[in-house]
Amino acid sequence: MGRAPAVHPAGRTAFWQNDARLQNQASTDLLTTPRVRPARGRHPTAVPDSRWNPRAMPSPLALLDRQRTVAGPGFNRWLVPPAALCIHLCIGMAYGFSVFWLPLTRAVGITAPIHCPDGMTLLEKLTTTTCDWDKPLLGWMYTLFFVFLGSSAAVFGTWLEKAGPRKAGVVAACCWCGGLVISAAGVSLHQLWLLWLGSGVIGGIGLGLGYISPVSTLIKWFPDRRGMATGMAIMGFGGGAMIGSPLADRLMSRFAGPGSVGVWETFLVLAAVYFAFMMLGAIAYRVPPDGWAPAGWRPSTVGPRASDGPSLTADQACRTPQFWLLWLVLCLNVSAGIGVIGMASPMLQEMFGGRLIGVDAPFERLDAGQLGRVAAMAAGFTGLLSLFNIVGRFLWSTLSDTLGRKTIYGIFFLLGAALYAAVPATGQAGSIPLFCGILCLILTMYGGGFAAIPAYLADLFGTRFVGAIHGRLLTAWSVAGILGPVLVNSINERQVAAGVAKGRAYDQTMYLLAGLLVAGFVCNALVRPVVTPARGDASPSAAGGAHAAAAGADDPDRRSASPPAASLRPADTVLLAAFWLLVAAPLAWGLWMTLRQARALFG
């Protein structure tokens, strides 16, 4: 990337600092180009005046180039996490898309669903305008989300490292928000294939790019706190639904009327709001210059982060057993977690039935009014699980900076297996608080598994290409997104069909998920430090790539300390506080709404 652009001695931290100077330099170059006048009466053959040549003017798209995002001396690295949160809080609404399912099942009937006739083919259901969609068809959106999230992250991860996080963030904003606009058209025209294409496919690609865009950047800005840095961003992905779901519910209530359930209008409003936030986050991204390190920090030569040596490329990493062991670690942890998320609400209702509302009756014997009250309790429980998912992403990943990533994952798998296996006993004992506490703790480890994995990859393979490596590892998420629900649903349906009471039909499922975590513990125990070639053999030229000159940033012998940070002006302090407030305010509102909803669970 070369030397970072020079900045004003004050070292201001404004987002536009580097871009403005590069643009001014380009303008100066144009104005100082000598003007050559053609001889009188002859056709001009000299170079035309560049001041009037549109091709010589800087392209607006050049603002997205990686070199435009290199921070100058004095840049405050704490401006990067809120930029990442701006994107992750928006794309995290993928977790909350179920808020649209019930209204969409009556998009044609408005007040009540109009069921499609028996024998209608899938193609007819995708294009029909005379009957409503059912929940299983709509539920395929989740599968599309996470399949295309993982696949796009794997395909475009290497491109992201070359193009930089800003360009990737802009493309993610266009895909995610453009997908919402296409979905709005699909709802308005009642074409399910447009809904799948818009939010599922195009939006899923935006999810993948948006999810991985800040990861390597944050790891490079916070080599001393890798787990905490990635935890802050990935926490936003878990918090997106906590904000987006109640917001979407209010918007749908506002737009609903005699001719609409309010979904397509809500999609358009969310697309506009999310696009503004995501573009702000993308433009605010900065990457550190080559050789940058926090003042006074030196890489560890022992312990869990002893691999701060030459970085492996994504191709090189994929040829190591450590990569595939971590792929299994993530896949097994996510499969078990997704299984719990998918069945948490019905499991609570069917295990405890009337005891949730003080009635001594099983779930099957409750009347319509009692079922409604039980469903409200379950909705509060689901919101509570989302909250603990978010907390775990930050808490566990931050703790991994102290305990080490391998130790943290060992805790996830051993403690998690014991908790999963204990769930059936708590149901039989009728202990609602204990049941809720166990599942909340399980969800913290599910979220923590996502947040700590980028730092685990950086520990093993270096930081230079961690974004591309992380993208390929996320294919495990795509597989888990199918494996977990299929295992859980098939076993539960088989138990019910065999005559097992609904409250006991989850026992075998929980034991199976505990077994998955035991297998994950074995995979994690087999992970060993990566043995890299001699430092000379692992040079940038050996890695083969256009980033040869920059790979030395991962070499502890060549890493330089950062220049002394200039003292912040009051205006810069206000800017930093305002940016954090911009992302903290919606998180606080979402937290308040979640706690209000969960309060019903505890009376």
For residue range 155-190, list pLDDT tens digits in order.
Answer: 998 898 889 999 999 999 999 999 999 999 999 999
DSSP H helix total and E strand total for the chain: 21, 0
For range 204-230, the mean pLDDT:
90
Same CATH fold assignment for domains 80-113+121-290+571-603 and 308-563: yes
For range 582-602, the mean pLDDT:
83
Q: What is the pLDDT of residue 168?
A: 93
Q: What is the pLDDT of residue 101?
A: 84
Nearest alpha-carbon partner for 297 in 566, 563, 561:
561
Q: Residue 297 — very low, low, confident or very high, per pLDDT cuts 50/70/90?
A: confident
For range 31-58, the mean pLDDT:
47
Right CATH for 308-563 from 3.20.20.150, 3.60.70.12, 1.10.10.10, 1.20.1250.20:
1.20.1250.20
- Condensed to tens digits (0 to 9), the pLDDT of residues 537-587 reads 433 333 333 333 333 334 433 344 444 444 556 667 888 999 999 999 999
Q: What is the pLDDT of residue 294?
A: 84
310: DSSP letter: S
Domain edges within the chain: 80-113+121-290+571-603, 308-563
Angle between helices 570-598 and 368-403 (to 10 degrees): 140
362 touches 351 (CB < 8 A): no
- Condensed to tens digits (0 to 9), the pLDDT of residues 469-504 reads 999 999 998 898 888 888 887 887 888 888 887 778
For range 303-313, the mean pLDDT:
59
Q: Which of 28-37, 79-88, 537-546 has the lowest mean pLDDT?
A: 537-546
Q: What is the pLDDT of residue 290?
A: 82
* Whole-angstrom distance, CA of residue 22 vs CA of residue 462: 31
Provide CB contacts within 8 A for 239, sequence distance 6+. Answer: 88, 89, 92, 390, 587, 590
Q: What is the pLDDT of residue 198?
A: 94
Question: Which residue has better confidence, 444 or 64?
Answer: 444
Q: Residue 279 — very low, low, confident or very high, per pLDDT cuts 50/70/90?
A: very high
For 540, the token pair is: 């940038």
- The domain defined by 80-113+121-290+571-603 carries CATH number 3.30.450.20: no
Radius of gyration of the chain (CA): 26
* Whole-angstrom distance, CA of residue 345 vs CA of residue 358: 18
Highest mean pLDDT pick, 90-104, 379-393, 516-530: 516-530
Q: What is the pLDDT of residue 400?
A: 93
Question: Which residue has better confidence, 442 or 554?
Answer: 442
Provide CB contacts within 8 A for 282, sequence distance 6+. Answer: 83, 87, 165, 166, 167, 168, 169, 170, 172, 173, 213
Nearest alpha-carbon partner for 308 in 456, 528, 460, 524:
460
Task: Indicate if the pLDDT at residue 283 is higher than 90.
Answer: yes
* Whole-angstrom distance, CA of residue 503 vs CA of residue 33: 80
Any bridge partners for residue 287, and if so which?
70
